[in-house]
Amino acid sequence: MFTPSELCTVLLLDLETAPVVSDFSLLSAPMQAAWRHQARRIQDPETPEATAEERFLSHAALYAEFGRIVCLSAAYLNFTPGQITTSQRDTDGQTPELIIRSWCGTDEVALLNGFAAMVRKGKRLSRLCAYNGREFDFPYLAKRMIIHQMPLPEPLNCRDKTSWQLTHLLDPMQLWKFTVWKEYRSLDVLCAVLGIESPKAAMNGSQVGTVFYQPSDEKQTDYEQIARYCENDVIALARLLLRISRLPMLTDAQVIHRPNVYCHTHSCCTQAPDLATLNLAIPNNVTFDTPA
């Protein structure tokens, strides 16, 4: 599906989210009323008798209006000269390398600023990619930025754009549907089918809020646990793109982890990352502009 040169223009990402506050009682009165209205529309056969207050802890993280981003992992692929086997697609002797970094912590504004700075500076990376990104990650990011009165990065500004003008927003879940638009396959299912290690071994998304809010003397350890889980999804996503493109598979040794950024104050992520530190190697003649 994709060539190495095409994949080098893709910024892969994943979000981990939690309820916007640790308990329903901490919401303002208008937000409590809004959640009760939303909760009436939730159909969960496992907890049919749950109250709105109980559903807040289990479901609020799924909605940008009632949740928050607690971790964002982003990565990009490079291809370097190397040896490949004859059973793999001809890639002119190139092997993949993944550069990955996470933003995690209690300050969502700082986290979003850090990511937005990378997007603005990452001119080589003309596409965003997330699994189920069109239904979750991309709108969630945009809505949380608007709620915090932050300017949207150009790739997330979808005003007056039709779906066929959003080719810069890649979603492998949509690609896997081909023409069967009603199908849904989880990332875990595709990993199993395509022989990729599951990213869900250590924890799952429903546990993120509990880990994020639980009292602990080692909160950075909790954030690191969430960041590892988030990064595993991004690594699986990169391997999925390589597999469906019949390119050499990414090994653990080819994943380069940049230091995580822990956001606890508004000042920690408001500056653009040092490009030399991130080793983006971005040419200046490619921009993040969306199609006209």
Residue 228, domain CATH: 3.30.420
CA distance 125 to 119: 8
290 is a domain residue: no
If asked whether residues 155 and 50 sit together in one domain, one would say no
pLDDT > 90? residue 14: yes
Predicted confidence band at 93 (pLDDT cuts at 50, 70, 90)? low
Q: Which two tokens stand for residue 255?
A: 């994943």
If asked whether residues 14 and 139 sit together in one domain, one would say yes
Q: Which residue has the higher pLDDT, 171 or 289?
A: 171
Do residues 72 and 15 make contact, with C-beta atoms less than 8 angstroms apart? yes
If asked whether residues 165 and 256 sit together in one domain, one would say yes
Do residues 207 and 225 make contact, with C-beta atoms less than 8 angstroms apart? no
Predicted confidence band at 120 (pLDDT cuts at 50, 70, 90)? confident
What pLDDT shows up at residue 45?
Answer: 79
If asked whether residues 39 and 137 sit together in one domain, one would say no
CA dihedral 62, 57, 200, 251 (to 10 degrees): 60
Distance in Å from the first CA to the final CA of the chain: 24
- Flag the least confident range among 71-85, 203-217, 243-257, 271-285: 271-285
Predicted confidence band at 203 (pLDDT cuts at 50, 70, 90)? confident
* DSSP for 168-189, written as a single string: TEE-HHHHHHTT-TT----HHH
If asked whether residues 61 and 192 sit together in one domain, one would say no
| Average of per-residue pLDDT across 149-168 | 85
Q: Which two tokens stand for residue 96?
A: 């993949």
If asked whether residues 201 and 266 sit together in one domain, one would say yes
Predicted confidence band at 204 (pLDDT cuts at 50, 70, 90)? confident
287 is a domain residue: no
What pLDDT shows up at residue 82?
Answer: 60
If asked whether residues 13 and 33 sit together in one domain, one would say no
210 is a domain residue: yes
pLDDT > 70? residue 281: no
What pLDDT shows up at residue 270?
Answer: 33
Domain count for the chain, please give it.
2
CA dihedral 44, 46, 52, 55 (to 10 degrees): -90
82 is a domain residue: yes
What pLDDT shows up at residue 226?
Answer: 93
If asked whether residues 160 and 239 sit together in one domain, one would say yes
CA distance 172 to 291: 20
If asked whether residues 180 and 38 sit together in one domain, one would say no
Detail the DSSP E strand segments found in 55-210. Answer: 67-81, 94-105, 127-129, 169-170
What pLDDT shows up at residue 291?
Answer: 32
pLDDT > 80? residue 255: yes
pLDDT > 50? residue 284: no
pLDDT, one tens digit per residue, over 180-189 is 878 889 999 9
If asked whether residues 110 and 44 sit together in one domain, one would say no
| Average of per-residue pLDDT across 110-136 | 89
What pLDDT shows up at residue 274?
Answer: 35
53: exposed, middle or buried (C-beta count within 10 Å: 0-12, 13-18, 19+)? middle
pLDDT > 60? residue 271: no
Residues belonging to the chain: 292
pLDDT > 90? residue 17: yes
What pLDDT shows up at residue 265?
Answer: 52
CA distance 11 to 8: 8
Q: Which residue has the higher pLDDT, 122 or 177?
A: 177
3-state secondary structure of 181: coil
If asked whether residues 45 and 111 sit together in one domain, one would say no
Q: Structural domain of residue 141, as residue ranges?
A: 4-18+74-278
| Average of per-residue pLDDT across 147-160 | 90
What pLDDT shows up at residue 92?
Answer: 55
79 is a domain residue: yes
pLDDT > 50? residue 109: yes
Neighbouring C-alpha atoms within 13 Å toward the C-beta of 7: 30
CA distance 54 to 3: 47
If asked whether residues 47 and 177 sit together in one domain, one would say no
What pLDDT shows up at residue 257?
Answer: 94
Neighbouring CB atoms inside 10 A of 105's CB total: 25
